[in-house]
Amino acid sequence: MVSPINANCEAFFNYTDDGQILATDNSKKQLAAETTIDKLGLNIDKLKDLRAKAVEPILEIINTITEGERQDLILGFSETDSKGYYEEFCAAIIYLLKN
């Protein structure tokens, strides 16, 4: 299993624009990612739908923004708000901005 407190836990996963979470292609991390996705039910329809809705606004602008704007968005989604919370599904959003 992948621990969410692992500083680099996002490296175990890939995301699609329709809200799916997938195991990384990295063979050393793949089994842990697949196990986590399966055991935690990370690809149930409700979560896929919520993830897809979270990334939709980014997908609408991703081809129209500059590289600087892209980097600003990545930085913004990488930081917590004033209460110490991350934006919902920020890992998926950052993944799509980077890839």
Percent above pLDDT 90 for the chain: 95
**Average pLDDT value over all residues in the chain:** 96
* Gap between the Cα atoms of 35 and 73, Å rounded: 30
Compute the average pLDDT of residues 61-83: 96
Domain membership of residue 82 (yes or no) is yes
Q: What is the pTM of this model?
A: 0.91
CA distance 53 to 48: 9
pLDDT of residue 99: 92
Asked, for residue 1, whether it belongs to a domain, the answer is no
**Nearest alpha carbon to residue 56 among 99, 16, 4:** 16
Q: What is the pLDDT of residues 28-65, one digit of tens each?
A: 999 999 999 999 999 999 999 999 999 999 999 999 99
- State CA 22 to chain mean position distance: 10
Between the alpha carbon of residue 19 and those of residues 7, 14, 68, the distances in Å are 23, 10, 25
Residue 79 lies in a domain: yes
Write down the pLDDT at residue 27.
Answer: 94
Angle, in degrees to the nearest 10, between helices 90-98 and 67-78: 160
Range of the domain at 88: 9-98
Domain for residue 80, yes or no?
A: yes
Residue 63 has a pLDDT of 94
91: amino acid identity, one letter = A
Whether 7 shows a pLDDT value over 90: the answer reads no
Structural domain count, the chain: 1
